[in-house]
Amino acid sequence: MARMKFLCDAERCIECNACVTACKNEHQVPWGINRRRVVTLNDGRPGERSISMACMHCTDAPCAAVCPVACFYTTADHVVLHDKDLCIGCGYCFYACPFGAPQYPRVGNFGGRGKMDKCTYCAGGPQQDNSHAEYLQYGSNRLAEGKLPLCAEMCSTKALLAGDGEIIATIYRERVQQRGYGSGAWGWRTAYKEVPQV
């Protein structure tokens, strides 16, 4: 069974933020939330690198371990999803997540934060595939349409890879061998407890 993963090739990311924009538009992500973000390290200095990051759909997901209402579930192709009808907006998953993926639509000193929102790997949620209800709550379900996450599909430099973990690791390995360098599959050790062998 294919195991879905994300891999950002930091040697290729040019910080164009197309992935961020595509995601926001595709899923009509609530105001103030970005399911994907581009982070730049050593900005303006030699060795500057940018990485596109979102929920990595972790093996043994820390968010699921802490959620008091157990609203997370992992699909057979290892996409970590959650049920907004159960979420109480407690914020625990935000603190547990090593990537800062969970976000909330509202802020307030006393009011609720609203239901947690995060990357769904373009796989919707616990509503029927591609129903209006699913779209409203979680966004579109490209995986059920036989496609991959839009961020990766429209990456201009093909820095962001998505799909079967084995295949994208092979693609990354080929790139590193061809150009003779690579800065590693960022976040893989934390999320998947392994790194692609180069």
Partner 1 sequence: MNGRKDGGVAERRGFLRALGLGTAAAAAAVAPAAAQRSDSVPAGQARKESAAERVAARYRETDHVRAFYRTNRY
Contact footprint for ligand SF4 (CB under 6 A): 55-58, 61-63, 66-67, 69, 71, 80, 82, 87-93, 97, 99, 101-102, 116, 118, 191
- Return the structure tokens found at 76: 């057979």
The conformation of residue 143, written as its DSSP 8-state character, comes to G
- Return the structure tokens found at 56: 């990595």
- Return the structure tokens found at 53: 């990051």
Can you give the C-alpha Rg of the chain in angstroms?
A: 17
CB-nearer residue toward ligand SF4: 22 or 67: 67
Calpha distance 91→114 (Å, rounded): 10
The reply to whether 114 sits near partner 1 by the rule CB under 8 A is yes
- Whether 10 contacts 183, CB under 8 Å: yes
163, 182, 187, 196: which one binds partner 1 (CB under 8 A): 163
CB-nearer residue toward partner 1: 97 or 152: 152
Q: How far is the CB of 43 from partner 1 (least distance, A)?
A: 27
DSSP 3-state of 170: helix
Binding site for partner 1 (CB under 8 A): 1-2, 4, 28-31, 60-61, 64-65, 67, 69-77, 79, 81, 83-86, 105, 114-115, 123, 126-129, 131-134, 136-137, 141, 143-144, 146-148, 152-153, 158, 161, 163-164, 167-168, 171, 174
